Structure 1
């Protein structure tokens, strides 16, 4: 297959690109490098450095060759930041995606796997969360992604546009030679690993009064390789289905304190903690039900344990700074 990967120099897009190439597929990466570097581009991939909002450039890229599908990862991802500058998130995540979709329609491309988010759900009414749960984001990041899902629904209905929307929970871990390295870093596990490596003094814990067993937020962690496998299955399923929506998580919830304890256990190093006030827009509990994708596509996480996920990330982070 020949696949266009937007945001392919990021953590998830870069992982998926490498695994696609390893499986013998052709990959074109489209990325503006706003939070990454050219070194993150997978060796063997064609690289187009440009902004997704640049309609002439993305359309020219789509006209140069026919792609069997688009995997769309390009987005801003920090929920906390989205509550300070929501307009930036709507422009970067929603409007830029509309530009991509328009370019796809104009060039005869009708198949996309969209990187959505569990933030579309907001505060869940029940857990684990199923795909038919109420969609009511509590932050602008989640809203910017939900708006894309709504656009895709209409393009599917009116144009027959085929899409799979994958609502991720917390993605972590690493594959051989590539792992999580955002610029700036905002995700919990790599931040805690930086403490273990002595690159940070401690980890900030935002909120100690949530209605959970230890007062800290609960999240569902999925290994990035398992997430990539879900993308491959979803793209293949678009051959026979025109609209797919799946949660991607492992169905287990871990508190922030449990994640910190796991890192300390895996690394054998103490983790200093700084207790802080809640951040606006952070739901107390986000845990996925992924039973739908398991039943329909046969997807099954191969790395469901938190210590497994963190161990793979720890191995990569140590080599990264060696």
Structure 2
């Protein structure tokens, strides 16, 4: 089959592409390279923006299955420029839904649940707290009547592949980075729950569902842990780490635990990698000096996009907004 990975050059796309290269499928990556200066994987690649429908359409026509990974990702990154977020996260997906008749796999997020008590399943009430979460919910709704699966991913962690950038704006990865480099972790609150999922476990599910007949919405997670529980795991793996708890106000109000029983029952989902293993992966990467400056903005979606997308005032008094075009 022909598999088109839209937004396939990123964190999850890197792991997914590696797994797909072990299959007989023909794979093509379509990506803007917003965070990367080059694409070095040995797979067919198209440099393209999802908003450029004239460039995108021939590749939709070629594909049997589209894996839609393209998005501005994260609450902070999406809040920088609402209009652009809607163009990329909502409008581009709507175009694909209207102009592609094959199977689609869509990456949603457990962020659609917001701040909710209890163990949340796919029919639980939804309370998206951010523009990012709302765009993911809209995406699910767009694809509800299509030959499509929407995966509500937990917070990813771990190493993706040898080429894709590491993300140090994810809970597990950033706590490990601070423990290795500073031997200190500052935890804000700490009681808030997150569902966590290794990036390769997410990629493996996508590969397994390319040819299935399953449709609808599925939670995907490996472990439900509070931020403090993650910090304590890091400390156990890196004993020199000091964990400091602060009660200062913080902006991220999300707090939720999920069940992936539906995915286990209907898709055979069984995560293979643990948070402890992810901690060891990131720690080894840093301890071996493979990342020379982990505080570079390119390792954080929000910090990298902030100077590109925020409005500013020109010397002539005009309010200008940068864009990715």
Distance in 2 separating the partners of 1:89 and 1:202: 34
Distance in 1 separating the partners of 2:184 and 2:193: 20
Distance in 1 separating the partners of 2:171 and 2:34: 21
Provide the residue aligned with 1:225 in structure 2.
200
Alignment of 1:89-104 (within 5 A): 89-104=85-100
Higher strand share: 2
Provide the residue aligned with 1:301 in structure 2.
271
Question: Could you tell me how far 1:134 is from its partner in structure 2?
Answer: 1.2
Distance in 2 separating the partners of 1:61 and 1:152: 19
Does the 8 A contact of 2:183 with 2:240 survive in 1? no
Give deviations 1:17-50, integer Å, cap 9, x for gaps: 11111234322111111123424x5x22111111
- 1:168 aligned to 2:168? no
SS in 1 for 2:266: helix
Does the 8 A contact of 1:4 with 1:29 survive in 2? yes
Distance in 1 separating the partners of 2:284 and 2:217: 33
Distance in 2 separating the partners of 1:90 and 1:175: 27
Provide the residue aligned with 1:310 in structure 2.
279
Aligned residues: 291
Alignment of 1:203-282 (within 5 A): 203-206=185-188, 208=189, 215-237=190-212, 240-241=213-214, 243-250=215-222, 252-271=223-242, 273=244, 275=246, 277-282=248-253
Alignment of 1:116-131 (within 5 A): 116-124=108-116, 126-131=117-122
Return closer, same or farther for 1:56/1:203 CA change in 2, 3 Å cut-off: farther
Distance in 2 separating the partners of 1:33 and 1:112: 22
TM-score normalised per structure 2: 0.80
Structure 2 residue ranges without an equivalent (≥5)? 293-325
Return closer, same or farther for 1:271/1:7 CA change in 2, 3 Å cut-off: farther
Structure 1 residue ranges without an equivalent (≥5)? 209-214
Alignment of 1:122-201 (within 5 A): 122-124=114-116, 126-153=117-144, 156=145, 161-174=146-159, 177=162, 181-182=166-167, 185-198=168-181
Distance in 1 separating the partners of 2:87 and 2:250: 23
Provide the residue aligned with 2:65 in structure 1.
69
Does the 8 A contact of 2:187 with 2:243 survive in 1? no
**Aligned with 2:49 (options 40, 48, 51):** 51
TM-score normalised per structure 1: 0.81
Question: Could you tell me how far 1:70 is from its partner in structure 2?
Answer: 0.8
Return closer, same or farther for 1:162/1:278 CA change in 2, 3 Å cut-off: farther
Does the 8 A contact of 1:15 with 1:178 survive in 2? no
